[in-house]
Structure 1
Amino acid sequence: MSKQFAQVKTELPGPKAKELLERRHDIVPHGVSYGTPTFVESAKGALLKDVDGNQFIDFAGAIGVINVGHSHDTVVSALQDQVSKYIHTGFNVMMYDPYIAFAEKLANLAPGSFDKKVMFLNSGAEANENAVKIARKYTGRQSIVSFTGGFHGRTLMTMSMTGKVKPYKFEYGPFAPEVYHAPFPYNYRRPETMSEDAYADYLLKQVEDFFITEVAPSQVAAFIMEPVQGESGFIIPNKKFVKGVYDLCKQHGILFIADEIQTGFGRTGKYFAMDHYGVEPDLVTISKSMAAGLPISGIIGRQEVMDSAAPGELGGTYCGSPLGCRAGLAVLQVMEEENLNDCALTIGNKVMDTFEKMYDRFDVIGDYRGLGAMCALEFVKDRDSKEPAKELTGQVLKEARSRGLIALKAGVHDNVVRLLMPLVITDEQLEEGLTILEEAVDEAVAVEKV
C-alpha cells in the first residue's frame, strides 16, 4: 500500500529536531519523558507534521485528549472569539457565562436521572483530588477505595490511589493515608477454569471480604473506578463486576466515583463510558478530550453531594477558565454535529476487525480488546504462558514511528499498544494507519528472531 498521509522524509530525529532535543535535554528534567524524538510544527485533524517536514498519522491523540481532532475549525473559532473579549477574570472574582453554559450541557449529558451540579478545575488529577474532598465532606468518612491497575493522577492523593508502582509511585512515598486498593478484573489473565461471570463473582466476594480484612464499609467515603482502565492497557471490566461494586456502594452508603478522564467525550461510543454498564455514578470526573487540548477538568455530581462543601472550600485561580469553557462548548457542538459517538463505534469495529486478522497472523499477540474506539493489542512471548513481551512492544512502536504512525504503550507490564486516534480521522487515514501498524508488528517480530 502506497503511503498517502504518513510521510517520513528523514530518519528520526531529523536535523531540526536534533537541535531542539539537545536544548530540551539541557533544560527539561530527566523525569519528564517523551515518546517520539521529534517536535511538532503543525497539527490538523488526525495528522501531525514535525519541524523537519515529516508527517505522521496520530493514533495517540495526546493520550486521549484530541477526540475532536487537532485544531478543529469550530474550536479554533471559539477560542479566537473568546480571546478577543477577555482571557481570564477568575470565576470566584467576576463570573462569566461560558462556565454556566458548559456546566448546564454537561449535567444534561452525564449519566444519572437525578439533579446534578458541575464544577471545573484544571487537570484530571485535580478533578479526582477534589472528588475525594467532596466525598469525604458529604459522608463524614475518610477512607477511599480504588482498584489495582487504576491510574488517577500524579498528585500525592491521586498517586496514592493509582494501582501501578513504576513509573508513577516508585520512591515517592509515604503516600496519603486511608487509601485502599481492591482487586479489578483483568479478564485476559483470569484463571482459565473460570468464566467471565464466575471471575466477576469471585472478585466481588473478595471485595466483600475486603470490608472485613482491610477497612470497614462504615469508614469508606467512596470507591473510584475507571470504566476502562487506561494506563493499565485498556482493561475492560465485566459489566456484572461494575454493577456489583455499585450495588455494594449503595448498600453501605458509599459514594461511587467514575473516573471518566480518558474514557469520556465519545471515546467508547457514548458521551460517558459508564453508560455501557447501566449504573449512575454519584460523581463523575472529566478532563482530557473535554476541551480539545485546553487545560480544564471537571466534576459532575449529585446536587446534594456537590453542595456539601461550604463557599470557598472548593476552587482555584484558573479553575474553569473562559478559554477552557468556550473550547468545551465547541467540543460538544462538534460531537453533536459530526455524530462522533457513532464515529467511535465505526472506528472501533474497523480496528477490531483488523486486530482479529492480526491475531490470526501473529502468535505474539495474546489478546486484542476494545470498547468503541478505545482499542488495544497485548503482546506476549507465547500464548500458553502469557508472559509479557515488553521489549517487543517497544520495538513495534519504534517501527511504527519510523513509518509515520504515532501510537502509545500501556499496560501493567508495559506490553500493550493502545490506540486513541481522533474520532474525526478519515477512513483512508485509519486504513493507512492500521496497515502501518501491521507492518510494524511484522518487522518487530522479524527483528526479534534475528
Structure 2
Amino acid sequence: MRTTLLTVLSAAALAAAWHGPASAQQAAAPTRSDQAISDRVVKIGFILDMSGIYADVTGPGSAAAARMAVEDFGGSVLGAPIEVLVADHQNKADVAAATARAWFDTEKVDAILDVAASATALAAADIARAKNRIIAFSGPGAVRLTNEACSPVSIHWAYDTYALSNVTAQATVKAGGDSWFFITADYAFGHELERDATAVVKASGGSLKGSVRAPINTPDFSSFLLQAQGSGAKIVGLANAGRDTTNAIKQAAEFGLTQSGQKLAGLLVYINDVHSLGLGPTQGMLLTEGFYWDLDEGTRAWSKRFFERTGRMPNMSQAGVYSTVTHYLKAVRQAGTDETQAVMKVMRETPVNDFYARGGRIREDGRMVHDMYLFEVKTPAESTGPWDLYKRVATIPGDQAFQPLSASRCPLVKK
C-alpha cells in the first residue's frame, strides 16, 4: 500500500529561527548525548484527514499545532533533533494501517501522536501495539480505544463518545428533551456515539423513538430528516461529525425541522462547524467540548498564536495535539530515552498541566482524564465577533464526564 507522505519537517531547522520565550527556556535546559535516542532523531507522526470530510477539524490545523509544540519545545530533545511526519489516510483504515506499519518499520518513527477518525485510529492502534510503539489520539472519538482496543502503548487524549454523550444527552433530557431520534454515521464512531447517548437518555428518564444510519460523506440528508420528523421525537440527535454534521444541520434548517418544534442535539460539534454554519441555524444548541479558545488567559494566548498561523481558532482536537506532543517530549527528556516503555511510564506518572488540561492524568486504560465543558451556542445578538460563539453552561470534572474505570472493558484494568 502506497503511503501518502505530505510533510517531513525538520523541527531542529525551524527551531534555529525561532526566538520565542518558550524556545529560550527549553534551550537553557540541560541536554544529554543524542546516543540516548534511537537513530539519533526523535520522529513523531500524524496520520490525519488532510483532504476529506474531517480535514477542517483535524488535518492541516492539527499538523500546525504539532509543529507549534515542537518549535516551542526548542526543536530538539536530549540533543537529538525532532522530526514531524504527516500523512493523509484518505479516511481508509487500510491506508492508516499501512502508513503506521511503514513508519514504524522503515522510517523508524518513535510515536504516532494522532490519527484522525475512529476506524482509521483503531487500525493504526493495532499496528502500534504489535510494534510496541506509542500512539495517542485527539481526533477520533470511539470509546473502544480505551475499552476493548486499549493497549499498554495507547493514550486517548481529547474526548470520546462516552463523555460527549454523557454530558450533552444528560443536560438535554434534564432541560425537557426526553424523547430522541438519532441520525447516525454508519461506522464505528457513529455507532458508539448513538449507543452511549441512548444509554444516557434512558438512564436519565428519556426514551428512544428510533434511529437511522447514514453513510459517511452523505450529501443529501432529506430522507433521514423526514424519518426524524415523522418520529415525533423532541430531540434529533446527530451522531456524526465534520461535514456530515454541518450538512445535516443546514438541511434541517431548510426542512423547517426546528421551526416545527423539534430541536437538534449535535453530539460532536466543533467550533469550526458553528463558525461555518453561522449562529442563525446553530443558536441555542447545547454541545460538549474539551476546550474553547476563550476559556481563560492561557487558552486565549495560545489560540491567538494558532490563529496567526492558520487564520482560524483551534478546536479541542487541534489543541489536544499540541498538549499531547508537549507531554510526550517532556517525558522523553525526563526518561532520558525514547524507548517506549520508559517514556510511557513517565507519561502515565506525570500530571498534565497546561492551557489544555489542569490536573489531567492518564489512567491505566489509556484515558487522559480532564475537565469537559457544556456550552450553549450564542445568539447573533450575544456574539461580539466571528469566533465569539459559545457561552459556558457548566464545567464537568473529568471523573464525572468520562466512563468510570468500574465500567471499563479494557483488559488492562484491574477489577
- TM-score, normalised on structure 2? 0.28
Q: Which has the larger radius of gyration?
A: 1
Which structure exhibits the higher relative contact order, with contacts defined as CA atoms closer than 8 Å and separated by 6 or more residues? 1
- TM-score, normalised on structure 1? 0.27
